[in-house]
Amino acid sequence: MGIRRNKGWELRESEATPESAFVHRRSLVGAIAAGPILVSALGSATAGNGDPSAGLYPAKRNARYTLDRPLTDEKLATAYNNFYEFGSQKSIADEAQALKLRPWTIKIDGLVEKPMTLDMDDLLRRMPFEERLYRHRCVEAWSMAVPWSGFAMAAFVDFAKPLGSAKYVRMETFLDPTTAPGQKQVWYPWPYIEGLTIAEAGNELAFLVTGMYGKPVPKQNGAPLRLVLPWKYGFKSAKSIVRFSFTDKRPVSFWEALASNEYGFWANVNPAVPHPRWSQAEERVLGTNERRPTLKWNGYGEFVAHLYDGLQGERLFV
Ligand SMILES: Nc1nc2c(c(=O)[nH]1)N[C@H]1C(S)=C(S)[C@@H](COP(=O)(O)O)O[C@H]1N2
Ligand SMILES: [Mo]
């Protein structure tokens, strides 16, 4: 893709797509190796079909987390997605219906008292369940506001019983190229990986999501279990997680492995630090014509600023 230089927000949406820029460059190299792309089964994009957890919804809303803007329309938030396992375009909802949600097992391993594998519904039953309204800011400079349901990641970390030597938690998305044709694209470092420090994972804002808009989270939004970290760029919020590993080594995430000059470990929302290819000063609010100034830590500084004391020398933004 030709990069046209613009001043700040003259940038077109189509140019603020770091991931796509990579696809276009790399696909020229990788196209031959990738082989044919299978056409996936089409299905309805409706949430809740056949999901055994459907009866849990809606969860009671936690009033502590408030918004400064209206909620994004459900239809938009469930149709405009980033989920590269199903393609690099925003409309992957139909393709994502190929994902099979049960059985779904979660593996907990690494530096923990007792490694284990447990069933998704078993985990859900043990966790405190609630709804929270959060802003979401993608590194591509668009944002939305969503009612998520799920449980605090802090409760999950307590349950996993990490050893004192664990400094990070590494999350891994499912790997199954037969249901996720994007995973046949060999130039990507599948599976999708993300990581947090133990302090970040234990922060009250870190939320493991199983639901959205008072229903089970749709497949295209990362069913049956995804992360939501409202103070970080959206790519940190890994979808369809199957494994949590506690470790003393900083995990290298999917996007960092692909483009370490553009994406790094911390990825805290910061309007003062531009992405190497565009400004982060403002965001396009999905479903409106509005552009708002982006807030540091996406407006969640009161909850998370202390996590980064003494880390000013780090590349906190990417
Ligand atoms: N496994 C996986 N998780 C992912 C992604 C992805 O491609 N694969 N995209 C990330 C990005 S860039 C964003 S902005 C959010 C989008 O979440 P949404 O589609 O629910 O809005 O998911 C994140 N989690
Ligand atoms: Mo994103």
- What is the pLDDT at residue 278? 95
Q: Residue 55 Cα, ligand 2 centroid: separation in angstroms?
A: 30
Higher pLDDT, 317 or 124: 124
Q: Residue 238 Cα, ligand 1 centroid: separation in angstroms?
A: 6
The predicted-structure confidence for 291-302, as pLDDT tens digits, reads as follows: 999 999 999 999
Are the C-beta atoms of residues 78 and 212 closer than 8 Å to each other?
yes
The predicted-structure confidence for 216-273, as pLDDT tens digits, reads as follows: 999 999 999 999 999 999 999 999 999 999 999 999 999 999 999 999 999 999 999 9
**pLDDT category, 95, cuts 50, 70, 90?**
very high
- Choose which residue among 22, 235, 255, 258 to substitute to test ligand 1 binding: the one with the highest number of ligand atoms within 8 A of its C-beta: 235
Q: Which atom of ligand 1 is nearest to the CA of 77?
A: 21
pLDDT above 70 for 36:
no
Q: Whose CA is nearest to atom 7 of ligand 1?
A: 83
Residue 83: CB within 6 Å of ligand 1?
yes
Tokens read off for 166: 């664990």
- What is the pLDDT at residue 269? 97
Q: Whose CA is nearest to atom 19 of ligand 1?
A: 81
Kindly state the average pLDDT of the residues 173-196.
98
Kindly state the percentage of the chain with pLDDT values over 70.
84
pLDDT above 80 for 82:
yes
Residue type present at position 310? G
- What is the pLDDT at residue 314? 85
- What is the pLDDT at residue 98? 98
CA distance 308 to 305: 6
pLDDT above 60 for 202:
yes
Q: Number of C-alpha atoms within 13 angstroms, CB side, residue 223?
A: 29
| Residue ranges of domains in the chain, CATH in brackets | 13-308 (3.90.420.10)
**pLDDT category, 21, cuts 50, 70, 90?**
low
Residue 239: CB within 6 Å of ligand 1?
yes
Q: Whose CA is nearest to atom 11 of ligand 1?
A: 235
Residue 238: CB within 6 Å of ligand 1?
yes
- Choose which residue among 239, 262, 280, 284 to substitute to test ligand 1 binding: the one with the highest number of ligand atoms within 8 A of its C-beta: 239
Residue 84: CB within 6 Å of ligand 1?
yes
Q: Whose CA is nearest to atom 24 of ligand 1?
A: 238
CA distance 67 to 262: 29
The predicted-structure confidence for 115-161, as pLDDT tens digits, reads as follows: 999 999 999 999 999 999 999 999 999 999 999 999 999 999 999 99
- What is the pLDDT at residue 16? 52
Are the C-beta atoms of residues 42 and 94 closer than 8 Å to each other?
yes
> Hey, how many other C-beta atoms are within 10 angstroms of the C-beta on 47?
22
- What is the pLDDT at residue 316? 75
Residue 138: CB within 6 Å of ligand 1?
yes
CA distance 87 to 235: 15
Tokens read off for 83: 């989920």
Q: Which atom of ligand 1 is nearest to the CA of 227?
A: 24
The predicted-structure confidence for 45-75, as pLDDT tens digits, reads as follows: 344 456 889 999 999 999 999 999 999 999 9
Q: Residue 234 Cα, ligand 1 centroid: separation in angstroms?
A: 6
